[in-house]
Amino acid sequence: MQSQILPSRAALVDRVAMQFEYGQSLICLVGNSGLGKSYLAESFITDKYEDFSKAFIQLSAQSKDIDIIRQLMEHTFRSPIVDQKLSLTENFFVLHSEQPAEPCLWVLDGARHLSDELIAELQSLATRAPSTLYILVTAQGPGMLPGALDIHLEPLTFSESKQLMKMFFKELPPEDDPIFSTFVTEAHGNPSVLLGWTKQSQSLDLRQPPVAKSKQKHYFIAAFSIVLALCLVAALYNKQLMNLFEQRQTAEQQSSHVVSEPTVLEAEQVLSDIADEDRDSDVSVSIINEEQVEPSQVSAVLGALLTTPSSVEEPKKLDIASPVDVDVDVDVDVDVAVADVTVPIESLSTKPTTPDPVSNLPAQSQQIDTTVNTQPLVAAPAQAYLGNDNAWFATRPDSEWSIQLLAVTDRKVVDDFLARHSEDNLKVAEVIRNGKTWWFVALAPFSQLEDAKTARANLSGDLLAAKPFFKRISQIKQQIQQSQ
């Protein structure tokens, strides 16, 4: 026996074994989710009937009937060859005739994933098996296996809940701890909730959560983002201003380089030299007058004075004329420089325009694209109404059976199938699974399963190649109701 099991659960395991010994071959263990049905089934198959051939199958939504049949046959017989066209009962009898089976114990965990056909096969095999065969199934609700004995699994009591936790946790709070007692009470005897206990669940933090700090943090991040964006915009604007200033400074340097300073200085120097010579001449004249030089000397001085301005006048005209020419050149160069500067200013002030790819295309190409885009809209036909027999299925009794022949998501395939096969009583059910519309083509109705089997045996080879199977009308009605 497994080490971690309560005495009450061990007694329930013995009760299930006793019911098998009393002649009950099909037992259903019923209990809500989390009460430990799977754990109890594992304990039963481990501790009981050691000399039996055992099979434990964990069912899920992806489990298929043929896979379940193959696993059961592999755990029951040695090297079996399973025929996929035969049912569970037929495979069992065929293999038993070849090699007699030993006493068997089958445990199926999760009856809600069993199909109606497989449930009927388990019921039939439990009563008609040529050798000892015990079948234990777990389910969340009673009545899922008609004809089976339902044994209910009750929640744990308060004392059993604490006892279970002591088995799996070494350190537990004292029993008078209010938080621990409240946790055990609110678990309502569910082992899955009790085993999810942690040490953090017994501590209670009465401090107010720092909501204000978190809000301040968000505000700070938002403000920082805004300031950063403004800084980036300012940096870009400053860069543009610096580029504009550098361009203007470069233009000014070019204009100042054209007007040469030595030319102006030379003109001023010439003027100053002339003035000095005039003053010298005046002084010399006054000195001559004061000293009353001789007439020959006076004539020589006067000749020098007369010849000096004429000799100086020529270079003066040349030196003064040169700045005039320079001024003309300066004006021209400055205009050119200003014209050059206006180009980057306009380029900075105007925003770049993105070309419109549609407007740049030729008119002919635009017309062709429009025709191509609008043609599917004009040519698309309106979707026709797709009929079904959902209303007919809703009026049928739940005890009737059907033979499912086809299940597709394309209505055209259904129409082609109906046109190709002229079988009587073909019905189409329309349901929705996982957001997709499915169409099921079924042959119905049949009042009993035996009638459905007889009808399937008389089907053509094309229909039998698709592996049709039996399906209750109640299951089809349930799928239609879930779709609605």
Residues 395 and 336 in one domain: no
Examine residue 239 and state whether it is found in any structural domain, yes or no: no
Examine residue 50 and state whether it is found in any structural domain, yes or no: yes
Domain boundary (349, 379, 406) is at: 349
Residues 329 and 197 in one domain: no
Examine residue 246 and state whether it is found in any structural domain, yes or no: no
Domain enclosing residue 417, as ranges:
390-483
By CB atoms closer than 10 A (0-12, 13-18, 19+), residue 334 is middle
Examine residue 229 and state whether it is found in any structural domain, yes or no: no
Does the predicted model carry a pTM greater than 0.75? Answer: no
Residues 407 and 301 in one domain: no
Measured distance CA(339)–CA(350) in Å, rounded:
17
Measured distance CA(13)–CA(49) in Å, rounded:
12
Examine residue 234 and state whether it is found in any structural domain, yes or no: no
Domain containing 426 — which CATH number? 3.30.70.1070
Measured distance CA(480)–CA(391) in Å, rounded:
10
Residues 166 and 181 in one domain: yes
pLDDT of residue 229: 93
Domain boundary (202, 236, 271) is at: 202
Number of domains in the chain: 4
Residue type, 331: D
pLDDT of residue 317: 40
Residues 130 and 55 in one domain: yes
pLDDT of residue 200: 61
H-helix segments, 62-177: 65-76, 88-98, 116-128, 158-168
Tokens of 258: 């054209």
Residues 15 and 145 in one domain: yes
Measured distance CA(128)–CA(122) in Å, rounded:
10
Examine residue 233 and state whether it is found in any structural domain, yes or no: no
Examine residue 244 and state whether it is found in any structural domain, yes or no: no
Domain boundary (202, 221, 238) is at: 202
Examine residue 417 and state whether it is found in any structural domain, yes or no: yes
pLDDT of residue 212: 59
Measured distance CA(292)–CA(151) in Å, rounded:
161
- Mean pLDDT, consecutive 10-residue segments, the chain of 484 residues? 73 90 90 86 88 90 91 88 89 89 90 90 89 91 87 86 82 80 84 77 56 74 92 90 87 62 46 54 44 51 51 40 37 37 38 41 39 37 58 91 91 90 85 88 90 89 87 90 83
Q: DSSP per residue over 224-259, as a string?
A: HHHHHHHHHHHHHHHHHHHHHHHHHHHHHHHHHHHS
